[in-house]
Amino acid sequence: MSTPETASEKQFRILVLHGPNLNLLGQREPEVYGSTTLLDINRSLESMGESLQVKLSILQSNHEGALVDAIHQAWGQQDGILINPGAYTHTSVAIRDAIAGVALPTVEVHLSNVYQREEFRHHSYIAPVAIGQISGFGAASYRLGLQALVGYLRS
């Protein structure tokens, strides 16, 4: 007879979402976002995912509706969401409602420290529906976010 999996044994599935303009990382405002490309970030997350024994599905989109659709499709398929919503952080009630709707534990990450930047970046529609937010550590924000999400799921 098989015994139920405990949280520490289960292979968690995590949806990684990158919002608009993050496909330009490496060439986009390097003084703000650094020289790391999105491919570099994804590779580093994949290798971290392997060592943490979690399965990642990664998507970048410049379209709000595509991000909303991906969040809806995560329901029942994924155990958590790691998201850098990019500029939609500061504008998107739709992404916030999608996260609240699927009720999956979500960690919000930003490369730059949004609180040191323009005032319009100080407000996040996503933060109130996320379990936490990491901002300001460059590409490491994603790795810290993944670690935090996996720790949360296992606890």
Query: What is the spatial distance between Cα 144 and Cα 58, in angstroms, rounded to a whole number?
Result: 16
Using the rule CB under 6 A, is 84 a contact of ligand DQA?
yes
CB-based burial of residue 19 (10 Å sphere; 0-12 exposed, 13-18 middle, 19+ buried)? buried
Strands in 6-45 per DSSP E: 13-18
Using the rule CB under 6 A, is 114 a contact of ligand DQA?
yes
- Residue 110 designated active-site: yes
Runs of H (alpha helix) within 77-139: 93-102
Query: What is the spatial distance between Cα 134 and Cα 1, in angstroms, rounded to a whole number?
Result: 42
User: Candidates 9-17, 36-44, 48-56, 80-88 — which segment interacts with ligand DQA by CB under 6 A?
Assistant: 80-88
Please pick, from the candidates 58, 59, 66, 87, the single residue that binds ligand DQA as defined by CB under 6 A.
87
Residue nearer to ligand DQA on the CB measure, 12 or 106: 106
User: Candidates 8-16, 34-42, 44-52, 111-119 — which segment interacts with ligand DQA by CB under 6 A?
Assistant: 111-119
**Interface ranges with ligand DQA (CB under 6 A):** 21, 84, 86-87, 89, 110-112, 114, 121
